[in-house]
């Protein structure tokens, strides 16, 4: 019996559904857009597989009547047909306006703080039923998480992602130095000596570090600074700077959100650009829902290039 059930092709299920609905071979064949002969062939195969005649001629001589066994199959068949329809809609069409899908984006709090506000606003307008979940990335397992679908997109620096992922630039940004409004040094341009003389806050993604890329650049020029505060959270940094005399140098797009409490200045030394990329696993490239997600993430981040 298991072997027989395994031979129940979709075409046979659709034939049974049409015959149950129409109770007429001619109309059922027209509904399926096949010949009566082809439908009769499918019916004969169904009778063999299910060990039941399924339909008998109507006593009126017009149409057919389902057997009790065929009628007993109808509720489950209706569910199967509906599942097939849902599968077809999800497999070939993605309608963000009606979808209730949840997407997971892995990003540290700096990229999330930069990307999330515009992204969520755009998602709400285009796809109000969709949920977006931000999680912190596990860099040791991000490739496997993207492959399995546990994570849909990873947003981070180029050197943070495995080589087998597909990556595209999301945006580039300049680095700026922030101080609290009312800082005792005043609001004049920062000289290199002044920059080095003040205390600084540094973001240490791994935690506890008091030296980073900026310190390497300063060392190349024979300079150094004092980093007195080290935090892991980008979101925490502007709050600390706003309440202390520390300086902090971070992407402009992030710090501009705190212009009500911070003054921003061009650093007195060339630090290069801050670049952010988004990554996905190759197997998701052609998925319509994933294509929409990548597009809306890129569109929402297009303000900086």
Nearest to 238 by CA among 141, 113, 121, 135: 113
> Which residues pair with residue 265 across a beta bridge?
177
Share of the chain above pLDDT 90, in %: 70
Exposed / middle / buried, residue 211 (Cβ in 10 Å: 0-12, 13-18, 19+): middle
CA gap 130, 124 in Å, rounded: 8
Going by the DSSP 8-state scheme, the letter that residue 59 receives in this structure is: T
Which pLDDT score is estimated for 229?
95
Specify which residues 244 forms β-bridges with.
Answer: none
Asked if residues 293 and 152 have their Cβ atoms less than 8 Å apart, the reply is: yes
Supply the DSSP symbol for 238. Answer: H
CB-side exposure of 113: number of CA atoms within 13 Å?
18
Give the lowest-confidence range in 8-22, 235-249, 257-271: 8-22
Q: Which residues contact 291 (CB under 8 A, 6 or more apart)?
A: 94, 285
pLDDT tens sequence across 82-131: 888 777 666 567 889 999 999 999 998 888 888 998 999 999 999 999 99
- Mean of the per-residue pLDDT values for the chain? 89
Could you give the residue ranges of the DSSP H alpha helices within 23-102? 25-32, 36-50, 68-92
Q: How does DSSP classify residue 35?
A: -
| Cβ–Cβ under 8 Å, residues 207 and 236 | no
Per-residue model confidence as pLDDT tens digits over 252-270:
988 998 999 999 999 999 9
| pLDDT interval class at 157 (50, 70, 90) | confident
Q: Look at residue 90 in the predicted model and tell me its pLDDT.
A: 62
pTM for the full model?
Answer: 0.64
Return the axis-axis angle of helices 68-92 and 10-22, rounded to nearest 10°. 120
Nearest C-alpha neighbor of 221 from the set 273, 269, 163:
269
Largest Cα span, the chain: 103
Range with the lowest mean pLDDT among 48-52, 218-222, 224-228, 294-298?
48-52
244 has a pLDDT exceeding 80: yes
Beta bridge partners of 277: 156, 169
């Amino acid at each position: 019996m298991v072997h027989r059930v395994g031979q129940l092709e979709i075409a046979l299920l659709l034939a049974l559904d049409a015959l149950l609905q129409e109770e007429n071979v001619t109309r059922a064949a027209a509904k399926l857009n096949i010949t009566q002969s082809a439908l009769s062939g499918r019916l004969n195969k169904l009778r063999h597989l299910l060990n039941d005649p399924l339909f008998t001629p109507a006593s009126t001589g017009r149409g057919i009547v389902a057997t009790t066994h065929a009628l007993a199959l109808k509720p489950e068949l209706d569910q199967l047909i509906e599942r097939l329809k849902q599968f077809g809609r999800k497999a070939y069409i993605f309608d963000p306006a009606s979808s209730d899908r949840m997407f997971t984006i892995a990003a540290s709090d700096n990229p999330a703080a930069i990307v999330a506000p515009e992204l969520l606003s755009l998602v709400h307008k285009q796809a109000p039923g969709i949920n977006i979940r931000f999680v912190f990335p596990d860099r040791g397992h991000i490739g496997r998480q993207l492959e399995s679908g546990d994570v849909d997109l990873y947003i981070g620096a180029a050197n943070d992602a495995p080589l087998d992922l597909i990556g595209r630039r999301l945006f580039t940004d300049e680095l700026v130095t922030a101080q609290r409004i009312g800082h005792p040094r005043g609001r004049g341009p920062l000289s290199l000596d002044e920059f080095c003389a003040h205390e600084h806050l540094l973001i240490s993604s791994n935690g506890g570090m008091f030296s980073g890329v900026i310190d390497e650049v300063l060392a190349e020029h024979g300079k150094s600074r004092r980093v007195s505060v080290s935090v892991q959270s980008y979101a925490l940094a502007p709050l600390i700077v706003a309440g202390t005399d520390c300086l902090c140098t971070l992407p402009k797009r992030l710090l501009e959100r705190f212009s009500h409490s911070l003054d921003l200045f061009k650093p007195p030394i060339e630090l290069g650009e801050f670049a952010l990329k988004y990554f996905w696993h190759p197997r998701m490239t052609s998925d319509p829902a994933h294509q929409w997600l990548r597009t809306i993430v890129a569109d929402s981040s297009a303000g900086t290039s």
